[in-house]
Structure 1
Amino acid sequence: MNELRPEIALLASAVTNGDRARALLAMPFSVMLTCEFTIRNRLMIAGYQDGLTYLETELTAMRAPRVDCGMPANSMAVAAARGRLYRVALDQPAALPGEGAE
């Protein structure tokens, strides 16, 4: 029997989007890179679009060339995606008032 890595098992057992957000924010980047398709699968099954967007944003930033100072070229996109997920992890709406749909 194949057992899931603990980080993936935590994501798979999540009941709410807040639980999923907390699992994603705590997940090591190495797990995101090596288990990308399993993570995507779990998020798609749950219908958690904000989680998929966050995962894609983080992975894109990790794989992209960095600017001269060493920061990812799209660091603002990463910060925005993390902010949305952090709000969900706190059981708040993903979007701030005036940002549009959740």
Structure 2
Amino acid sequence: MTSILPIIEELADAPDHPARARWLLEVPLSVLIRDQVAVNRLLSAAGFHEGLAYMAAEISALSATRGRDGLAPNTIRMTREYARIGIQVIARGGAEEGAA
């Protein structure tokens, strides 16, 4: 028996960056918050820098103090959306990480 949860094992077993990107987009956000250390370690070990940036953006957005409108500040929301778009492109296999 391993010491990580099955949902985290799915990320550990992902064969490539598109599979990791799909995992990041599909996993419940509560898992990203709860297991952020393990997720970051796996993404780092895989050299998935776009995934690390996405994780940082999601955690920032989920942890931000919200305004009266119930939303995080615009800068945080925009950073999150740009990171999410980048991960969506990778998940579709449409771009290599770091490509211009």
TM-score, normalised on structure 2?
A: 0.88
Shift of residue 94, structure 1, vs aligned partner: 6.1
Deviations 1:14-51 (A, max 9, x none): 11100000001111111111111100110011000000
- Segments of structure 1 that go 5 or more residues without pairing to the other structure are none
Q: Which residue of 2 aligns with 1:79?
A: 81
Aligned to 2:19: 19
User: How many equivalent pairs are there?
Assistant: 98
Give secondary structure in 2 for the equivalent of 1:44.
helix
CA distance in 2, matches of 1:85, 1:27: 13
What amino acid is aligned across from residue 34 of structure 2 in structure 1?
T
8 A Cα contact 1:85 1:94, kept in partner:
no
Distance 1:94 1:77, change over 3 A: farther
Task: State how far apart, in whole Å, the 2-side matches of 1:93 and 1:101 are.
Answer: 7
Superposition deviation, residue 9 in structure 1: 1.1
Q: Residues of 2 paired with 1:94 and 1:59: CA distance?
A: 24
Distance between the aligned counterparts of 1:78 and 1:49, measured in 2?
15
What residue number does 2:7 align with? Answer: 7
Aligned-residue CA RMSD in angstroms? 1.8
Shift of 1:101: 4.5
Identify which of structures 1 and 2 has the higher relative contact order when contacts are C-alpha pairs closer than 8 Å and 6+ apart.
Answer: 2
In structure 2, list runs of 5 or more residues that go unmatched. none
Moved more, 86-95 or 21-30: 86-95
Give the C-alpha shift of residue 6 in structure 1.
2.6
1:88 to 2:90 alignment: yes
Cα distance change, pair 84–94 in 1 and its aligned pair in 2 (3 A): farther
